[in-house]
């Protein structure tokens, strides 16, 4: 793909920068299955400290770190409460149920991305041999690019703990939420017993996710990671990219948010489409049906890649500049002219 291509499908499409590749090439490595890789150990220590947990575990993907988290917290015949639109429920191929024997209890997502407290309370099952054992509440932030309100997260996690439920946060894009709210990573994950954080979304690393929690939890999680095939050897080459991402690419997420806001604002001038104002780096555009088939190829001819549908998602990231946003807006305006 040429450098001038603008890829708005996802923030997962970023390629590691020259500086990131340099630290990867220079990384000190060892066999991480033996716990010998100094760079992996450093990444885990930095992440645990940043998010305020005792320990962290490096995993190849967010899907795997969520699954490790659920399988470490819950056993066969347990249940977890989760949103209908949550990644762990809807977009991870049913792993918790299939591989973990953990029953999901999906709850409707409210428009702001939250789960109604009454729904959580109502779904928490009493101790009765007819029921699965409700063990855990899983929330996600950001969800669909939306920042879930902090006051809500405090209430939901307190409610869960009052009912002896464990709390897990799918924080694939938690750094976007924290930057948008101008709060620390620790404040953003307050109330959660564990969190998974993706390095390969807006933070721009090629691979990787970290699962954070208390020390005993992470020791147990390491066994599940091995079972799921996530025990890697000289993974310091990847961890170096992660350290670089945490050190250089968190604050700059604000630029992606500004670009998404600019894109949304500029596109909303086009009468035929409806744009939802983004909280972070993800915006949604509703297209008239007649535009759906033709817009994708039209954009592609102009070097712009997007997943086009009647409710289309556009994502800004490290490799989308303000000039790219302007080029995208011009292409949309040409199409609808
Ligand atoms: C991308 C994503 C994941 C999974 O991460 P992968 O590294 O793609 O497996 C989990 N949760 C959310 C909210 C995500 O956006």
| pLDDT per residue as tens digits for the range 14-64 | 999 999 999 999 999 999 999 999 999 999 999 999 999 999 999 999 999
- Residues 224, 123: one domain? yes
Residue 114 has pLDDT above 90, yes or no: yes
In this structure, the residue with its CA closest to atom 15 of ligand 1 is: 172
Q: What is the pLDDT of residues 218-257, one digit of tens each?
A: 999 999 999 999 999 999 999 999 999 999 999 999 999 9
- Residues 202, 218: one domain? yes
Report the pLDDT value the prediction gives residue 4, as an integer from 0 to 100.
86
Q: What is the pLDDT of residues 273-289, one digit of tens each?
A: 999 999 999 999 999 99
- What's the sign of the alpha-carbon dihedral 265, 267, 271, 273? negative
Average pLDDT over residues 177-182: 98
Confidence of residue 7 (pLDDT cuts 50, 70, 90): very high
- Residues 235, 259: one domain? no
- Residues 102, 173: one domain? yes
**Which among 247, 272, 302 is the end of a domain?**
247
* Average pLDDT value over all residues in the chain: 97
What's the CA gap between 113 and 148, in Å, rounded?
6
Q: Ligand 1 in contact with 103 (CB < 6 A)?
A: no
* Residues above pLDDT 70, as percent of the chain: 99
Q: Ligand 1 in contact with 61 (CB < 6 A)?
A: yes
Q: Is residue 25 part of a domain?
A: yes
Q: Which CATH number characterizes residue 182's domain?
A: 3.40.640.10
Average pLDDT over residues 119-135: 97
More confident residue, 2 or 46: 46
Q: Is residue 6 part of a domain?
A: no
Question: Which residue among 91, 138, 177, 211 is best mutated to probe the pocket of ligand 1, counting the most ligand atoms within 8 A of its Cβ?
Answer: 91
- Residues 165, 32: one domain? yes
Q: How far is CA 278 from CA 42, 65, 242, in A?
A: 34, 27, 26
In this structure, the residue with its CA closest to atom 14 of ligand 1 is: 172
- Residues 260, 229: one domain? no
Atom of ligand 1 minimally distant from the CA of 61: 7
CB 315 within 8 Å of CB 9:
yes
Average pLDDT over residues 97-114: 97
Other C-beta atoms closer than 10 Å to the C-beta of 10 total 16
- Residues 235, 87: one domain? yes
């Amino acid at each position: 793909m040429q450098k001038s291509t603008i890829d708005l499908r996802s923030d997962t499409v970023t390629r590691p920068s020259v500086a990131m590749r340099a630290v990867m090439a220079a990384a000190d490595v060892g066999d991480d299955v033996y716990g010998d890789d100094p760079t992996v150990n450093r990444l885990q220590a930095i992440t645990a400290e940043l998010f305020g947990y005792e320990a962290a575990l490096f995993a190849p993907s967010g899907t795997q770190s969520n699954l490790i988290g659920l399988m470490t917290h819950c056993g066969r015949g347990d249940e977890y409460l989760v949103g209908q639109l949550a990644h762990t429920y809807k977009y991870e191929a049913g792993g918790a149920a299939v591989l973990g024997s953990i029953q999901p209890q999906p709850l409707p997502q409210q428009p702001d991305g939250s789960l109604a407290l009454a729904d959580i309370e109502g779904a928490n099952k009493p101790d009765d041999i007819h029921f699965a054992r409700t063990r855990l509440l899983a929330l996600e932030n950001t969800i669909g690019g939306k920042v879930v309100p902090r006051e809500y997260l405090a209430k939901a996690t307190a409610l869960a703990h009052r009912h002896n439920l464990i709390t897990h946060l799918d924080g694939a894009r938690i750094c976007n939420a924290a930057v948008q709210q101008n709060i620390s990573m620790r404040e953003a994950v307050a109330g959660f017993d564990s969190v998974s954080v993706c390095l390969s979304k807006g933070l721009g690393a090629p691979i990787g996710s970290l699962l954070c929690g208390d020390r005993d939890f992470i020791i147990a999680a390491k066994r599940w990671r091995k079972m799921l095939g996530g025990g890697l050897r000289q993974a310091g080459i990847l961890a170096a990219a992660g350290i670089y991402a945490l050190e250089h690419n968190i604050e700059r997420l604000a630029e992606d948010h500004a670009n998404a806001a600019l894109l949304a604002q500029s596109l909303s001038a086009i009468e035929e489409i409806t744009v939802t104002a983004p909280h972070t780096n993800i915006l949604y555009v509703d297209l008239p049906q007649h535009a759906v088939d033709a817009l994708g190829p039209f954009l592609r001819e102009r070097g712009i890649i997007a997943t086009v549908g009647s409710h289309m998602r556009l994502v800004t990231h490290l490799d989308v500049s303000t000039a790219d946003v302007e080029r995208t807006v011009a292409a949309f305006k040409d199409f609808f002219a």
